[in-house]
Structure 1
Amino acid sequence: MNPGIQKVEALDAGHFIRVEWEDGSESRYPCVWLRDNCQCPRCFLRSARARKLVFEDLDVNIVVKEVALADRKKLSACFSVSSLSERQYWGSDLQLPKIPFEDIMYNDESAYKWLCTLKKVGIVLLTGAATRQGELVKLGHRIGFLRLTFYGPTWQVQDKADANNVAYTTGKLCFHTDYPVLQHPPGVQFLHCIKQTAAGGESEVVDGFHVSSKLKKQNLEAYQILSSTAVDYTDVGVDYCDFAVQCKQRIIDVDSRGQAVRINYNNATRDTVFDIPAEKVRPFYAALKEFDDLLNSAEHKFTYKLKPGDIVTFDNWRVLHGRQSYQSGSEVTRHLEGAYADWDVVMSRLRLLRKRVLNRD
């Protein structure tokens, strides 16, 4: 007869569960193994005695949040699933996540929720910030620090004479990711609405990973072209300092499994130089056109309008953003302040917050 369970407890910051048996013996179970071998209907098909859990969805860093003795033969464990590898795809049906700015600044649970959602969904709207410059510097201090670029630690998106960036005009901005001209583009972008025009200026976003997966299913050859062709980008000008930047990027960066991990697409800074064989040029343009059409399709793009005090935070490696045109010269001139952060900094803060929040009890 198997002994009953006397006591259960979590060890090693929740990575192990220790079971003390009634006969005095004990066992230790790694939480990743317990998660991998979950027998619930969602994870295991009893009729086939087969695992349904997809291995790519397994979080190897999973920890137990609560563990209790259900009866002498069973224990109950509530796992805290890391959001580090999860993705929630979306299209025009996006329910834009919203969190008050003050909450994430002064409440660890809210900050943790913000960064988890940012990683999982790719976009979160922070509401109620002051309508003045400098709020993004505070946000940078909350996570660690902001990313300095050639446009400064923060930058002002306004209509400017002799604009050194197409964003500093009133025209429509097509879907793009920022800074593919850098070898390591900023991972996260912040845009704080300080002033908003009455007519026009609506923001548009699209889930690049979702669209990439659609393209892969719809036209594998086009997907392979965009994930293998090195595209030249260039940016030359003067701002925080003078700069002359050049870089080669693949429109769709993929990992060893062919899964999209970063989108590098900015038509404004795509160079006239295109260093590929002439016979491959037209197929590339056809593939990019198909990808761009998917980005702009009604089922994939989400349109919203920032209000003064809103700060939209999004994954610049995943979410492509754009803007509808607006008229200049009105009494209220549209003004956004922008900033970047690297994913290394954001993920560092997420891990620290997770440890602090989950170990609080």
Structure 2
Amino acid sequence: MNQPKPEDQPRYPFQSAPDIDFWPVTHQVLSVEIRAKTIAVLWDDNQKSCFHPLWLREQCPCPDCHHPVTRESIMDLLRLPEDLYAQDVSLDDAGYLIVTWSNDAHTSRYHPGWLRANSYDDWARKPTQRNRITWGEALDLTVFDGKKTLEDDGELYDWLSYLELHGLALVSNVPTSKGTVQELAERIGVIRSSNFGAVFDVMSKPEADSNAYLTIGLPLHMDLPTRECPPGLQFLHCLKNEAEGGESQFVDTFEVARALKVEAPEIYKIITTVDFPFRNRAVDSDYRWQGPLIQLDAAGNPVETRINTFLPTPILNMNNKELESVLKAKYHLFKMVNESRFLIQFKMQSGDMVVFDNRRVLHARSEFFPQTGERHLQGCYMDRDELYSCLRVLERHQRERGMAPAI
């Protein structure tokens, strides 16, 4: 589709930017000036944004700098001088910021909605951590409708937003045909294969290569802690659950981490700083990794956990004195995640699908008895990136329709 020239575009709240998005104009630019080499913007609510010249030049949305179809940069950043500065700044009749640059007299035109949303002054900074609500035994789990989720983007957005916040979401009324778990997962993004396949069947098997394929109860755990980057999401779709037993249990380790930090700070420090080994061996595979049981980000917030009690791996790089405190901390954490104050439990019914953040929410299963009925679940994995990407695209569509505020 041919794009109208900037001078032909009306003053309208959605205009092109250096990305494929829509940026509502929530505030107008009152004035612009060059101040101490920065480009200073005064908004109609009296807030001020000061943009670094190299930062702003790199984001020039013109077709010579960003490809008009891909919106990826085609400008060689290394050709810009480090002492680049704005030679002239002004506002055009549509409220856009116009900047002429010092090195080549190139002129850039910036949309006010994009400028406001991407301001990085102290007053404008946004939290870098994804939204979340930690929970324990009192969680009243919202149930979403599977058929609506498959068909309606609004229902899909509500479901995924809940999943992002809580790390756990339950969907009912999902068709019980095999492969539906993949169909629903691919509403979000690309599923992730593992040595168990793209889609795996959770049921009793005579030649099991995992405890999941036995009838015994499974303790609280995450899947694939032996991988450099374990799957972010796990989908489990209940096709049949007629056997006695087989209740599902879930624990939010971020809530456990919050409590552990308060109740036992010395153990919390060990759990978040010491690397623990993980290893999973089979006839034709041998996966290994090591890392803290609770991984923190730069701000000290939990971002993932690696807890799995049925893959014990010897710690080999410590003496007995060091092992004493490390093993004590490990067992304290394992005991804590099993406390009832953190646990929710329910039995999945035919047509239910549970989705959870595998690097945040531990899952378990009570023993079931196949002689009393069939129990058959199908599952698959997906990276967190797919969830976040899908949410951003849905939010972009909402902004396009004027349904959501600027971000």
1:280 CA displacement: 1.7
Corresponding position: 1:105 with 2:150? yes
Report SS of the residue matched to 1:182: coil
Percent sequence identity over aligned pairs? 28
Distance across 2 between alignment mates of 1:83 and 1:311: 30
Superposed, which structure 2 residues align to 1:330-349 within 5 Å? 330=372, 332-349=373-390
Aligned residue for 1:157? 202
Name which of 259, 264, 273 aligns with 1:219: 264
Distance across 2 between alignment mates of 1:297 and 1:227: 20
Distance across 2 between alignment mates of 1:324 and 1:251: 24
Aligned residue for 1:309? 351
Superposed, which structure 2 residues align to 1:101-250 within 5 Å? 101-237=146-282, 242-250=284-292
Name which of 249, 254, 275 aligns with 2:296: 254
| Pair 1:353–1:29, CA change in 2 (3 A) | farther
Q: 1:238-278 CA distances to partner (integer Å, 9 max, x unpaired)?
A: 5xxx3211111211111122221101111112323543332
Report SS of the residue matched to 1:299: helix
Name which of 20, 24, 27 aligns with 1:18: 27
Q: 1:65-98 CA distances to partner (integer Å, 9 max, x unpaired)?
A: xxxxxxxxxxxxxxxx999622111101111121
Amino acid at match of 2:401: R
Distance across 2 between alignment mates of 1:233 and 1:203: 24
Aligned residue for 2:307? 265
TM-score (norm 1): 0.77
TM-score (norm 2): 0.69
Gaps of 5+ in 2: 1-10, 31-40, 50-114, 118-125, 403-407
What is the root-mean-square deviation of aligned Cα atoms in Å? 2.9
Report SS of the residue matched to 1:227: helix
Distance across 1 between alignment mates of 2:255 and 2:169: 17
The number of residues matched between the two structures is 305
| Pair 1:234–1:244, CA change in 2 (3 A) | same
Distance across 2 between alignment mates of 1:336 and 1:162: 17
Report SS of the residue matched to 1:329: helix
Distance across 1 between alignment mates of 2:144 and 2:23: 28
Superposed, which structure 2 residues align to 1:23-102 within 5 Å? 28=43, 85-102=130-147
1:233 CA displacement: 1.2
| Pair 1:20–1:229, CA change in 2 (3 A) | closer
1:102 CA displacement: 1.5
Report SS of the residue matched to 2:169: strand
8 Å CA contact 1:123–1:313 kept in 2: the answer is yes
| Pair 1:274–1:116, CA change in 2 (3 A) | farther
Distance across 1 between alignment mates of 2:292 and 2:48: 37
Gaps of 5+ in 1: 1-6, 35-60, 64-80
Aligned residue for 2:331? 289
Distance across 1 between alignment mates of 2:291 and 2:243: 37
8 Å CA contact 1:15–1:62 kept in 2: the answer is no
Q: 1:217-239 CA distances to partner (integer Å, 9 max, x unpaired)?
A: 1111111111112111111225x
Distance across 1 between alignment mates of 2:151 and 2:189: 14
| Pair 1:84–1:110, CA change in 2 (3 A) | farther
Report SS of the residue matched to 1:124: strand
Amino acid at match of 1:186: P
Aligned residue for 2:322? 280
1:214 CA displacement: 0.5
8 Å CA contact 1:201–1:326 kept in 2: the answer is yes
Distance across 2 between alignment mates of 1:236 and 1:316: 20
Which structure has the bigger radius of gyration? Answer: 2
8 Å CA contact 1:197–1:333 kept in 2: the answer is yes
8 Å CA contact 2:145–2:173 kept in 1: the answer is yes
Distance across 2 between alignment mates of 1:190 and 1:248: 25
Report SS of the residue matched to 1:258: coil
8 Å CA contact 2:185–2:235 kept in 1: the answer is no
| Pair 1:244–1:86, CA change in 2 (3 A) | same
8 Å CA contact 2:181–2:379 kept in 1: the answer is yes
Aligned residue for 2:395? 354
Distance across 2 between alignment mates of 1:289 and 1:296: 11
